[in-house]
A and B are shown apart, each in its own frame.
Chain A
Amino acid sequence: NAGVMQNPRHLVRRRGQEARLRCSPMKGHSHVYWYRQLPEEGLKFMVYLQKENIIDESGMPKERFSAEFPKEGPSILRIQQVVRGDSAAYFCASSPKGQARAEQYFGPGTRLTVT
């Protein structure tokens, strides 16, 4: 059973460009969480999605960031008009259940660098 896949692993964007980060959950998992790890900081929750639904986006910046998890295909985290402060590692995690007691399985992350 393949683990959580994220691509690309490394992404370089110039200021003002768009970044698209993809996350393929583990087989059978329909719950996806996105977290951001800024330099010298721990991970911060961004958004929680189920198939075709955003359940909680309380950690998402109000502007430029969006996320989706379509019925078919990977979950996408989209950052429009990137700025240097968006440089970070972005991790997604998947879970078979959207429950606090259920284990979340993390992907290897996408490291975004904005130049």
Chain B
Amino acid sequence: AQSVTQLDSQVPVFEEAPVELRCNYSSSVSVYLFWYVQYPNQGLQLLLKYLSGSTLVKGINGFEAEFNKSQTSFHLRKPSVHISDTAEYFCAVSTTDSWGKLQFGAGTQVVVTP
């Protein structure tokens, strides 16, 4: 079985400041890792994913994440946020031997203020 923990339920941040969203996972088998963003009243959009290879993954909208196997973490970062980054962010995993069933964390609400 696997689980996903997002350590912060809400992260307030000022415009143009950096942000880091923390995600830890546990699994007895290998996993793929994903970050999704959900804007109000919309579906989820994939920001980035880690499948294999380089542990630093770059995604859309200036986001990046680093896979740390020893710490079982996959933290999301952006060096300078915009007001438009206000949204909910979900970390998710799927086991490599599965057909794609995603297990999500509880989400982190990012609120960007001027």
Size bracket of the A interface:
20 to 34
Q: A69 an interface residue at 8 Å Cβ cutoff?
A: no
User: Are A48 and B101 in contact, with the CB atoms below 8 A?
Assistant: yes
Interfacial chain B residues near A48, Cβ < 8 Å: 99-101
Q: A1 an interface residue at 8 Å Cβ cutoff?
A: no
User: Are A45 and B103 in contact, with the CB atoms below 8 A?
Assistant: yes
Interfacial chain B residues near A55, Cβ < 8 Å: 99
Interfacial chain B residues near A100, Cβ < 8 Å: 32, 94-101
Q: What is the CA–CA distance of A103 and B43 in the complex, to the nearest angstrom?
A: 14
Q: What is the CA–CA distance of A95 and B102 in the complex, to the nearest angstrom?
A: 12
User: Are B43 and A4 in contact, with the CB atoms below 8 A?
Assistant: yes
User: Nearest CB to that of A9 among chain B residues?
Assistant: B41
Q: A25 an interface residue at 8 Å Cβ cutoff?
A: no
User: Are A91 and B43 in contact, with the CB atoms below 8 A?
Assistant: yes
Q: What is the CA–CA distance of A33 and B90 in the complex, to the nearest angstrom?
A: 17
User: Are B44 and A106 in contact, with the CB atoms below 8 A?
Assistant: yes
User: Nearest CB to that of A111 among chain B residues?
Assistant: B41
Q: Which of A41, A42, A97, A108 has the most CB of B within 10 A?
A: A42
User: Are A106 and B45 in contact, with the CB atoms below 8 A?
Assistant: yes
Q: Which of A69-115 contact B (CB under 8 A)?
A: 91, 93, 95, 97-109
The prevalent SS among residues of B at the interface is loop
User: Nearest CB to that of A43 among chain B residues?
Assistant: B104
User: Nearest CB to that of B97 among chain A residues?
Assistant: A100
User: Are A41 and B51 in contact, with the CB atoms below 8 A?
Assistant: no
Interfacial chain B residues near A104, Cβ < 8 Å: 46, 100, 102
Interfacial chain B residues near A35, Cβ < 8 Å: 102, 104
User: Nearest CB to that of A4 among chain B residues?
Assistant: B43
Interfacial chain B residues near A99, Cβ < 8 Å: 99-100
Known interface pairs A98-B99, A106-B44, A108-B42. Does A41 touch B94 (Cβ–Cβ under 8 Å)?
Answer: no
Name the 4 nearest CB pairs between A and B, nearest first.
A106-B43, A98-B99, A100-B94, A42-B104
Contacts A41-B106, A100-B94, A109-B43 supplied; 7 other A-B pairs, CB < 8 Å: A35-B102, A42-B104, A48-B99, A93-B44, A95-B100, A104-B102, A106-B44
